[in-house]
Amino acid sequence: MRLTGNLARAQELTQETFLRAFRTLEKGEIFENPQAWLFRVASRLAIDEHRRKGRFPDQELGDLASGDDGSDEGAILERVMVQAALNALPTRYRIPLVLYVYEDWQVAEIARVLGLSVSAVKMRLHRAREMFRKHYGEERK
């Protein structure tokens, strides 16, 4: 049931993103890179939601540790540590890393959507990996 609540909230955030886009376009504003602008709107809404509700809004950490979702406790702990390391990254580094590693986007795609050069995305990915390794290592101690 928790997944349903999270899915419903994700749908609400998606609707809000497109509603804001529609309202902005109604005003006659034109963007050079509308895909990047829409991505920024969605990102900001997601970040605001994350800050407002916290990382695990519908699930207590105790539930995670007890393995209520049928997963192995080690795998759950690993996911929590990875998420903590990702959360420690500044947004400008976390977004390209998540898009590249988890969403399997190409560097050129990320550059186009974020409005950056390919070399800037490569540099952010390099720095993000370094920061992730540092924070992930600290979590494991």
C-alpha to C-alpha distance for 39 and 107, rounded to whole angstroms: 16
Q: What is the pLDDT of residue 59?
A: 44
29 has pLDDT over 60: yes
Residue 2 confidence class, pLDDT cut points 50, 70, 90 = very low
C-alpha to C-alpha distance for 84 and 105, rounded to whole angstroms: 22
What are the angstrom distances between the C-alpha of 72 and each of 19, 42, 57, 75, 78? 40, 33, 21, 5, 10
> Which CATH number fits the domain that encloses residue 60?
1.10.10.10
The pTM score is 0.56
C-alpha to C-alpha distance for 68 and 62, rounded to whole angstroms: 9
Looking at the structure of the chain, the number of domains it has is 1
pLDDT in tens, 51-108: 676 544 444 444 444 445 545 777 888 888 888 888 889 989 998 998 898 888 899 9
Phi, psi of 59 (to 5 degrees): -140, 130
**Domain extent for 91:** 2-140
pLDDT in tens, 13-27: 888 888 888 888 888
